[in-house]
Amino acid sequence: MGSRSFELESVDLLAAAAQGEPGQRRFFLVARGGGETMTLACEKFHVQGLVTRARQLLAERELAEEKDVTVVTDPPLGEPDWAVGELGLGYHDSRRRFVIVAREVQLEVEGESEDPPAPLLEPGELVEPASGTGSEAATARVWVTPEQVRGFVEQAELVLAAGRPTCQYCGLPIDPAGHPCPASNGSRPVF
């Protein structure tokens, strides 16, 4: 049996969360609405990409000015429902809402090839999950207001900033055990 899919039309909570020590953290996307809570495991780059895209869409739509936002400081975390493979954000003009679309990561099974990558979403465009591909990847759609997106951006940036500091010379994270900076000595360890 496949993982559970979500369609949250109206949410009262949208947040990013992280567990663990900097450099070893696990990231999550949490949404709650209509009596159900969704917790999706994701990577740091998913959260960073979502924040970047949200800022772009807010600026394009000139929705970035209002400042009346509520920032969630400690979202409730449960066991993740599934892990994110693809994550996108779009704006639906007629609904005047943003939609976060996530698709479960699909591991390649021996002898089978993985699904082709989903097309990139254009603003206002929604893509239905492919049917008949043989895999049952769970999907999630979370509809949020511009105010909720602004709150998410502020909250997610706090979560991201709580990680390892970045090197001012190369931009890479600095590990507590040391940092072989390629900008200062031109080399990095080969793994």
- The arithmetic mean of pLDDT across residues 41-68, rounded, is 86
Is residue 88 predicted with pLDDT exceeding 80?
yes
| pLDDT on residue 129 | 44
- CB crowding 105-140: b at 16 or more within 10 Å, else e: bbeeeeeeeebeebeebeeeeeeebeeeeeeebbbb
| pLDDT on residue 38 | 95
Q: What ranges do the domains of the chain cover?
A: 6-165
pTM of the model: 0.75
With residue 42 as reference, give the H or E element that holds it: strand 36-42
Lowest mean pLDDT among 4-13, 83-92, 146-155, 156-165: 156-165
| pLDDT on residue 173 | 80
Judge: domain 6-165, CATH 3.30.2450.
yes
Q: Does 69 or 154 have the greater pLDDT score? A: 154
Residues 6+ apart with CB under 8 A from 119: 127
Residues 11 and 142: beta-carbon distance below 8 Å: yes
